[in-house]
Structure 1
Amino acid sequence: MVLTHSLPLVPVPASAVAGDGRMPLTSATRVHGDSPAAAQLIDAVERRSGIRLSPADDATKPGDIALRIDASVAEKEGYTLRIGDEAELVGSDEAGLFYGIQTLLQLLREDEAGWGLLRADIADAPRFGYRGVMLDVARHFFGVDDVKKFIDSTSALKFNHLHLHLSDDQGWRIQIGSWPLLTERASSTSANGDPGGFYTKADYRSIVEYAASRHMIVVPEIDLPGHTHAIGVAYPELVEAPVMNDNLISDSERLGQPLPVAGERYLGWGVGHSSVRIREEGTYDFVRDVIRELAEMTPGPYLHIGGDESHGTTQEDFDHFVERATAIVVEAGKVPVAWHEVGAADGIAEGTVGQYWGMTTPQGTHAEEAAHFVERGGALILSPADATYLDMKYDKDYPLGQDWAALIDVRSAYAWEPTAVLDVPDDAILGVEAPLWSETVGTLTEVEQLVFPRAAAQAEIVWSPKDAPERTWDSFRVRVGSLSPLWKAEGISYHPAAEIPWSRR
């Protein structure tokens, strides 16, 4: 595994050797290959440089870029890239070809002589199979175009799962034909009383299809049995009266936000006060219908049923609910995913995947709850809040985000190791997901300022070998700074963190 500072790549490849000089890129440069990735490359180069490359189907010539697939070159999602007098990119599959193009685009640079590709010899494949980001569209709603731009910007860092948090106390965001009042009554507002919205089934399918074109799997979440106040706005018979708790009351006073009232839209951020009626059979008719319709629209393997912060629910009731809910997901032909609290229930469906959102040093019973998923034949996605939560502030004075888990500057986001958090076998960890909760952000620009550059840190942690020579903070801060021209060309509103030496071109 070799890499030099002269290759400005994030995430750092498994193996990369820099060559001398550059391969010039001009309007005469041609792209060979019939993969959809060829058109994506041509469009991306034009956005970055203004140069429109031409497709070609004859023999390659010096200065051309050739794309092809060969399963023998690397593991799944891997690729090789050789740039000399011409460029050859070989993906192990279509995903590998796509990720190789993201690497190639990072090597596209301008200097006094014009545009060119840095010469290099790269062999690369991911460390973890699950590389995720989460967008909370419930606390604040983001339209289809915003979600597609988020897919573009994060898939370029080789993330391959998009977790959409589709329901919470503040709003319901997905059309369900069998329960139409969910979107008619419970989608119109967001946190702070900001405008809401929802995805029609056609909207959702277009997001899923667009994500697939960028080799991203959509993981939809309906948060249950807590975080369900919005369900009660639409169908009061399904939800218990709000249960107040000390943290909810103090947060409402501190933030000047209203407390939840049964049947009324909730505009605050407080948590732990809501629950579906766990001992009513009609609740499970509702859950079964929602899961069935969502499964029909979701080709990916996972459905997330939430399970966090159900403070108004007894442990006995909570266990009863999540055991039935995970079984319903399995009946629908999907793999259930749930926040780590669900691991407290003995009888969750076998194979359920847990998402750990505790701290990098586990507290209380969090580690035991997470381990139970593995004991039941499942696996884990790691999202430690004090390292991966993209909605945490960079520092105490940063205007966006919260600070309940930690203040997370870029170096802190980079300085953790997934296999060191929990006492489980390494192969029980599917990968890492970086969540963006949206209480404090209402526009995609604000989202991007929290996500970038910290998402790049998580991308390197989950893609690159942990023992790669350049997997160091000193190297990363220089390499991520080199992405500035590319991010600007793509219209990404990143936060220019002072700890990063940002490149101008």
Structure 2
Amino acid sequence: MPLLPLVPLPASVEAPDAVPFRIDASTVIEGEADATAALSAVVATRTGLTPNPTAGDRTVVFRLAPGGAAESYRITVDEASVTATAPDRAGLFYAAQTLGQLITRDGDGWMIPAVTLEDAPRFAYRGVMLDVARHFHPLETVKAFVDRAAALKLNVLHLHLSDDQGWRVQLASRPRLTEVASSGAVGGDPGGFYTKADYAEIVAYAASRHMTVVPEFDMPGHTHAVGLAYPELAEDPVLSTHIEEIASTYGGELPTPGVAYTGMAVGFSSLKTRDEATYDFVADVFGELAGMTPGPYLHFGGDESLATEDEDFGVFVDRVSRIIADLGKTPIAWHEAGSRTIDDSTVGQYWGFVVPTGGMDDKARAFVRNGARVILSPADAVYLDMKYDDDAQIGLTWANGPTSIERAYAWEPSAVIDGIDESDILGVEAPLWTETVRTLADIDLLAFPRIAAAAEAAWSPADGRDWASFRERIGGLAPLWEAQGIGFWRSPQIDWSAG
């Protein structure tokens, strides 16, 4: 019997050889509103049917019930009914996504196979990141990405809102950031920004899919755009042979003070870390962002600050992490900040390789020594912007070359950094940087199916994960993804005819 096309893999599945639950126009879907709406949308997209909410003898019911871990759920399917219970609305929403994956053709009709399923997440933080700074992505694209991620039980949307190429969210306290510094993008493409209303809409839309928005203003590096708006806060670019090589390989001019940057190099910019005006700026932008963001986290970057002196970098990340903590938020920083004195609550995000190099693992361990936890984003496993193979038209290869779907799946979170236990890991996040990504079609091509591998690493029990099983299960999702208009990459490692 083929494996059920469930991704991420549930904690427990029993599929008896019994009569399935058949779906037609008389099927009733009722109960908790978010879950009911989610499954109704999948049914309509996958089958073309519009379930009747009032008449019919076969019923799908979503019901809150006490007991169980946060976001957990239980599903029972037989010939007469489908029952999904959970202790919270998120669990019911995820039950709806699981049922959506189970919808299968049954001759000329549709059915959900008989099954008893219990499920709960491995990690509390299950994220994707979308870089809207290198290339700006409009509101509708962000919403579509939220829908795609939430369907795989990912619950965090990390938005990379500023970089050398542009600043992407409107702030009343510092209006020149979007008036002056938002128009650029890699390759000279159009820029853009989100108004405060747009940002609020993203936050609300994500919340309706049980996703938390984690906004990032990256600093003290990756800040050339800040210097366009407030030149008194920025150091002149520090050029290197590496930056010149990037410009030669990928095109674009070298960074110049006061001129919008459209290239792909990193590590040349820095804020003036010894100037008190810089910390006034930090207090303004994160203070306003905190008021706009109901979630618990604010990300301040701290990566690739190659143009900032070591001592100055240490002073900067210490002060900024404390500014954010004093706002009542939990700071997040890339792992480089772990080597410095920072607020003890700061969560570290590790972007080194699955086999750590250059002491990156020790910097990540520093967050744990402070009593905080880490998010794992190993670049050679879960960076969604890497090419699948050398022939891919978009994507990059700096993270140990192309990242196949098998390599994206094969890593184990608890085995990456010695000395970091399961309890020290807040979760897993799959970033999508957008130097080569211009459209939703580009996002789909690079993210799918690797985003599903990241989702399984974040959700599923470690002892149940298996590459051969994943290959079969992911192949079975092709019809659903096609119906949803997701232009996924048909990896030759997967038998897509299984669906």
Alignment TM-score, normalising by the size of structure 1: 0.96
Q: Which residue of structure 2 aligns with residue 446 of structure 1?
A: 442
Q: Distance in 1 between matches of 2:444 and 2:421?
A: 34
Matched, 1:455 2:451: yes
Give the C-alpha shift of residue 32 in structure 1. Answer: 2.2
Q: Which of residues 16, 24, 27 is equivalent to 1:26? A: 24
Q: Which residue of structure 1 aligns with residue 488 of structure 2?
A: 494
Query: Following superposition of structure 1 onto structure 2, how do residues 398-409 of structure 1 map, counting pairs within 5 Å?
Result: 398-406=392-400, 407-409=402-404
Matched, 1:427 2:423: yes
Query: Following superposition of structure 1 onto structure 2, how do residues 333-344 of structure 1 map, counting pairs within 5 Å?
Result: 333-344=328-339
Give the C-alpha shift of residue 266 in structure 1. Answer: 0.1
Q: Which of residues 217, 235, 241 is equivalent to 1:222? A: 217
Q: Distance in 2 between matches of 1:463 and 1:425?
A: 17
Q: Which residue of structure 1 aligns with residue 47 of structure 2?
A: 49
8 Å contact kept, 2:3–2:472: no
Count of aligned residue pairs for this structure pair: 495
Q: Distance in 1 between matches of 2:66 and 2:473?
A: 29
8 Å contact kept, 2:35–2:95: no
Q: What is the one-letter code of the residue matched to 1:45?
A: V
8 Å contact kept, 2:408–2:450: yes
Matched, 1:410 2:410: no
Q: Which residue of structure 2 aligns with residue 189 of structure 1?
A: 184
Q: Distance in 1 between matches of 2:498 and 2:137?
A: 31
Give the C-alpha shift of residue 332 in structure 1. Answer: 1.1
Give the C-alpha shift of residue 246 in structure 1. Answer: 1.7
Q: Which residue of structure 2 aligns with residue 15 of structure 1?
A: 12
Q: Distance in 2 between matches of 1:479 and 1:500?
A: 9
Query: Following superposition of structure 1 onto structure 2, how do residues 52-451 of structure 1 map, counting pairs within 5 Å?
Result: 52-56=50-54, 62-72=57-67, 74-85=68-79, 86-345=81-340, 347-406=341-400, 407-423=402-418, 424-451=420-447
Q: Distance in 2 between matches of 1:34 and 1:216?
A: 17
Q: Which moved more, 1:420-429 or 1:295-304?
A: 420-429
Give the C-alpha shift of residue 490 in structure 1. Answer: 1.1
List structure 1 runs of 4+ shifted beyond 4 angstroms. Answer: none
Q: Distance in 2 between matches of 1:255 and 1:410?
A: 26
- State the secondary structure of the residue aligned to 1:54: coil
8 Å contact kept, 1:6–1:18: no
8 Å contact kept, 1:323–1:348: yes
Q: What is the one-letter code of the residue matched to 1:478?
A: E
Q: Distance in 2 between matches of 1:39 and 1:124?
A: 21
Q: Distance in 2 between matches of 1:276 and 1:182?
A: 14
8 Å contact kept, 1:485–1:503: no
Q: Distance in 2 between matches of 1:289 and 1:503?
A: 54
Q: Distance in 2 between matches of 1:117 and 1:293?
A: 47
Q: Distance in 1 between matches of 2:171 and 2:237?
A: 24
Q: Distance in 2 between matches of 1:209 and 1:71?
A: 26
- The CA deviation string for residues 240-285 of structure 1, in whole angstroms up to 9 with x for no partner, is 0000122111111122221000011000000000000000100000
RMSD: 1.2
8 Å contact kept, 1:485–1:504: no
Give the C-alpha shift of residue 425 in structure 1. Answer: 2.2
Q: Distance in 2 between matches of 1:162 and 1:71?
A: 28
Gaps of at least 5 residues in structure 2 are none
Alignment TM-score, normalising by the size of structure 2: 0.97
Specify whether residues 34 and 456 from structure 1 end up closer, same or farther in structure 2 by C-alpha distance, changes over 3 A only: closer
Q: Which moved more, 1:485-494 or 1:298-307?
A: 485-494
Aligned sequence identity (%): 52
Q: What is the one-letter code of the residue matched to 2:39?
A: L
Give the C-alpha shift of residue 504 in structure 1. Answer: 6.9
- The CA deviation string for residues 188-218 of structure 1, in whole angstroms up to 9 with x for no partner, is 1210000110000000000000000000000
- The CA deviation string for residues 279-323 of structure 1, in whole angstroms up to 9 with x for no partner, is 010000000000011000100000000000000111100000000
Give the C-alpha shift of residue 35 in structure 1. Answer: 2.6
8 Å contact kept, 1:483–1:503: no
- State the secondary structure of the residue aligned to 2:365: helix
Gaps of at least 5 residues in structure 1 are none
- State the secondary structure of the residue aligned to 2:75: strand
8 Å contact kept, 1:42–1:54: no
Give the C-alpha shift of residue 75 in structure 1. Answer: 1.1
Q: Distance in 1 between matches of 2:106 and 2:133?
A: 44
Give the C-alpha shift of residue 6 in structure 1. Answer: 3.4
Give the C-alpha shift of residue 62 in structure 1. Answer: 4.9
Specify whether residues 117 and 237 from structure 1 end up closer, same or farther in structure 2 by C-alpha distance, changes over 3 A only: same
Q: What is the one-letter code of the residue matched to 1:252?
A: A
Give the C-alpha shift of residue 111 in structure 1. Answer: 3.1
